[in-house]
Structure 1
Amino acid sequence: MFQDLDATLKALLDDAAGPAELQAADVSFDTPDKDYKPAQATVNLFLHEVTENRTLRDEARVMERVGDGYTSRMPPLRVDCTYLTTAWSAQAGALKAAEEHHLLGLALRWLSRFPIVDDRFLRGSLKNPPQLYPLPTVVAQTQEGRSNGEFWSALGIAPRPAFSVTVTLTVEPFDQVEDLPQVESIQITSTSIPDPTLAGRVLDHALTPVPAVVVTVVETGAQTTSARDGTFIVPGLGFGVYTLSVQAPAKPVEQVTVTYAADHQTHTVVLSGP
């Protein structure tokens, strides 16, 4: 994943439409420590921070149409990958500083042209399968109260001109995908608050209506039979918790506990097993 982002940024910096000096420079992702001494003009992008972007976090599951049904999966993570960008010259003295500053400025101007990374630059797993969201970039931004002094000290070198490049990736950490059937119909059942009735519908394991099911209220002995569309009605009950004994043709008896109230009059009973 990160190596594919490296390759993507390298492709962006090597683009034929970019400045000639930038195309001619090497692009490195090595750690720019005290032993780092490139032999030619180099743009170094050091990946030094990876954090979840909580602002872009989405708690909603991802739904996709697949054939005659749908798939549902947990939302992905949005991850900020921050590179420290520096320029390096193999020359000496004033020429070294001049080349580094010029190259760093070219890199800053060129990368700033891409608030979203073009698909043509994407490499590896960032291209296939395609990212769920485009890859936004933020250039030359620093977090408030943060200093690079400790960073340069840890690398054992003197501070040098640099700017940050942050690219936000979509990361899929969850493998579980739930298959859901296509919605074939919607049934709306009305109830009455002043004249309530315990009602419901009997469905099999495939959510198909089951007719001729004997539904018995265990506590009162009241009994009814489901209609062709699986619906049933048991009138004359007071609000409360009841146990429904459900007897489908040629099936064992099943029991379901329901809470019958003014705002909870209709109950769906799903039979187990094929």
Structure 2
Amino acid sequence: MIDEVDQRLKTWVGRVLGDAPVSLAVPQRESVERGVGLYLLELAPAPPPRPAHSSRRPPLRVSLCYLVTAGGESPERSHHLLGELVFAALEEPGFEVDLSPLPVPLWAALGLAPRPAFRLRVPLERERPVSAVPRVKVPLITRTVPAVALLGRVVGPGDIPIPEALVELPSMGLSARTDAKGLFRFASVPSATPLGRLEVRAKGKVLAVRAEELPTEEGALVVRLPLKEG
């Protein structure tokens, strides 16, 4: 299945750059200076899809993170190729572009000097078979689970609000976006169930923290993203 995503990305590069050579191998000095590199850097959890009114079980999902590099016969050519790729990726449905700098130790582990590159996250799904539902032979007893609204805000250095941040509760399949004041709201979460991990994505940064460990102010969770001031 991952190889299908590999092929999809190679086809996408072909649409953007024509016949530029593409490599999926571990980046090396020769390969990053010639053609496009699509190195599968890591696999990460992906938020579950929006619930649908269907008897089918939701698919299993992961996020594939590729390191994208581009090289040409000159620095100007390399920069041109990389620019075409990054803007095309920003327009491509389903692609998530991470422009945060790659850590220097990772470049060192690859045996390369730091260079312009970006990370590309692509979701991968696997459908699950529908389980047979046994017939109910006893009276059905239902129990109502109390639910409450969950409020919070996302801020950066100096408590400056961060709009359009993606806030997710993966264990509950919930997601929301912050407004212009950095505020987000989950309309209904079980009051007696631990919230688990809260994930926030904004400005190329991803923060994962247990919601129970976050401070609260005026009844709202406060998420402080460790962004660089500037």
* TM-score w.r.t. length of structure 2: 0.51
Match of 2:42 among 39, 45, 49: 49
Distance 1:139 1:168 in 2: 12
Structure 2 unaligned residues grouped into runs of 5+: 142-230
Mapped partners of 1:11, 1:82: distance in 2: 17
Q: 1 CA distance for matches of 2:90 and 2:107? A: 24
SS of residue in 1 equivalent to 2:131: strand
Instruction: Give the aligned CA root-mean-square deviation in angstroms.
Output: 3.3
How has the CA–CA distance of structure 1 residues 26 and 40 changed in structure 2, closer, same or farther, with 3 Å as cutoff? farther
Equivalences, count: 140
C-alpha displacement at 1:59, in angstroms?
10
1:137 is aligned to 95
1:139 maps to amino acid: V
Residue aligning to 1:85: 68
Question: Larger radius of gyration, structure 1 or 2?
Answer: 1
Report Cα offsets for 1:88-117 as digits up to 9, x if no partner: 23x3xxxx2111111111111222221x1x
Q: Which residue of 2 aligns with 1:31?
A: 26
Paired residues of 1:42 and 1:88 also in contact (CA < 8 A)? yes
Query: Which residue does 1:215 correspond to in 2?
Result: none
Separation of aligned partners in 1, 2:108 and 2:8: 29
CA distance in 1, matches of 2:97, 2:22: 17
Instruction: Report the CA distance between 1:139 and its aligned residue.
Output: 1.5
For the residues of structure 2 that align with 1:39 and 1:161, how far apart are their CA atoms?
11
* Per-residue deviation, 1:38: 3.8
Shift of 1:24: 2.8
The match for 2:83 is 105
Change beyond 3 A, Cα 1:150–1:206: closer
Alignment of 1:46-195 (within 5 A): 46-53=39-46, 56-57=47-48, 64=54, 72-73=56-57, 75-89=58-72, 91=73, 96-114=74-92, 116=93, 136-142=94-100, 147-172=102-127, 177-180=130-133
TM-score (norm. length: structure 1): 0.44
Write the letter of the residue equivalent to 1:100.
Answer: S
Which secondary structure state, in structure 2, belongs to the residue aligned with residue 178 of structure 1?
A: coil
2:65 counterpart SS class: strand
8 Å Cα contact 1:31/1:46 also seen in 2 = yes
Structure with the higher helix share, 1 or 2: 2
Structure 1 residues 139 and 158, CA gap change in structure 2 (3 angstroms)? same
1:85 Cα deviation (Å)?
Answer: 0.7
Separation (CA, whole Å) in 2 of partners of 1:179 and 1:156: 52
Q: Distance in 2 between matches of 1:11 and 1:157?
A: 27
- Per the TM alignment, residue 78 of structure 1 is displaced from its structure 2 partner at its CA by 2.3
The one-letter code of the counterpart of 2:115 is R
- Over the matched positions of the two proteins, sequence identity in percent amounts to 32
Q: 1:39 to 1:108 in 2, by over 3 A?
A: closer
Runs ≥4 residues deviating over 3 A: 38-41
Structure 1 residue runs without a partner (length 5+)? 65-70, 117-135, 182-204, 208-255, 260-274
Structure 2: distance between partners of 1:50 and 1:29: 15
Tell me if structure 2 keeps the 8 A contact 1:137–1:165: yes
